[in-house]
Amino acid sequence: MSAVYSANSATVYGRRQALAIALALALGFGMICLVSHEPFHAFYTLLTGAMPQFSWSSDAGWRVYRLARFGAVIENAITLSLLGLAVLFGFRAKQFSMGADGQFFLGALAAAYVSTQLSGWPLSGLFIAASAAMLVGFCWGWIPGLLKARFGANEIVTTLMLNVIAVQLYRLIITYGFNDTSSGFIVTPTVPATLPTTSLMAHTNITLLFLLTPIASWVAWCVLERTTLGYEIRVVGDAPAFASQTGIPVQRVIALSMAMGGVFAGLAGLHVSHALLKRLPVDLTPGIGFEGLMIALLARNDPKAVPFAALMYSYLKVGAQAMEQASDVSRDMVLVIQSFIVLFVVSERLISPTTLRWTTTRWRQLARRSAA
């Protein structure tokens, strides 16, 4: 019986997601029509610009183009998946943590430093670097969790302020300590090459580290659904008063939920430093951690849905760049579409089963009138 209920819930959820995306794309196309002289071409480029292109000739045979764009989709999706999981843990405990950005920066820096110091053992050094990134992310996430649990400090304020501290600390260390003096700009030394960080596809930075996404999603799901800590996080998030009365250590759970998120943000930093950039610049742009917030919302705090939400978000992001290059529409239009998608996904009543039935009925009535 429970299996049937779960399957039905998944079906309804899938329909809601599909409706949310369809409505957002329809509204986005309407807005593109208002600002573009070639709306159909722009919208088509948005939807297909991130896909690889195949061509065949009798001389060269099959050839594949635009692999760099397709690779960018996968690369961004890996990082965004890990950042989405980082935000998700706090959300499940009803903690609105905004600290993934700072945890990501310091995790990337810790991973790069450890790898360069252990250059003689590149493979084992990579595992130690991953452990260092997770440990730093955990500790930096523990700080606002502890401040919230012990002193009632607002987690939004503390995580935002800690982000500023983390970014400036990152820049300070690279500028005055951990940098490559032989380079013409301020950057860390190059991390040693290993088999897991070798590109698997030409013109891309897709490496074996892409396995971090399914593994991290599975681990996050197991922690939240199959462990005592996960049960406590869910109870604290759903009914904190009940959790306190039943003896669950609410303060410890709040702190741990935010610290556990830092583990995944640290892994996102590892992926950027070792797979994408190979060395960290001092001017690494902050703000990517906030995109993890979008991913967690799109996935509705479900670890299993995070990779798919990240893939869709990344696909639109890369498609927006292609649209901007090939048409007269700015990539900012995609921000509007993404905002609509999140708005519809989080609007329970707007895309409820009742609304779905009403919409289907209305479409049938309109179709019958048109046919008549």
pLDDT digits (tens, 9 = 90+) for 29-60: 888 888 888 889 888 888 888 887 777 766 66
DSSP state at residue 1: -
Q: Is the pLDDT of residue 7 over 80?
A: no
Helices 288-298 and 332-346 pack at an angle, to 10 degrees, of 40
The structure tokens listed for 56 are 């065949």
For residue 57, what are the contacts with CB-CB under 8 A and spacing of at least 6?
63
DSSP state at residue 284: P
H helix or E strand, kind and range, residue 279: none
The string of DSSP codes covering 235-261 is: HHHH-HHHHHHTT--HHHHHHHHHHHH
Q: Are 218 and 302 in contact (CB under 8 A)?
A: no
Q: Are 46 and 322 in contact (CB under 8 A)?
A: yes
Write out pLDDT tens, residues 271-308: 999 999 999 999 888 888 888 888 988 888 899 999 99
Write down the mean pLDDT value for the chain: 85
d(CA 28, CA 43): 9
For the chain, helix (H) and strand (E) counts, in that order, are: 14, 2
Q: What's the pLDDT score for residue 61?
A: 66
Which pTM value belongs to this model?
Answer: 0.87
Across 154-158, 240-244, 307-311, least confident range: 240-244
Band (pLDDT 50/70/90 cuts) for residue 330 is confident
For residue 9, what are the contacts with CB-CB under 8 A and spacing of at least 6?
none
Residue of 44, 32, 21 lying closest to 309 (CA atoms): 21
**Cα Dmax for the chain:** 78
Q: How many CB atoms lie within 10 A of CB 30?
A: 10
What does the angle CA 49 – CA 54 – CA 55 come to, to the nearest 5 degrees?
A: 125
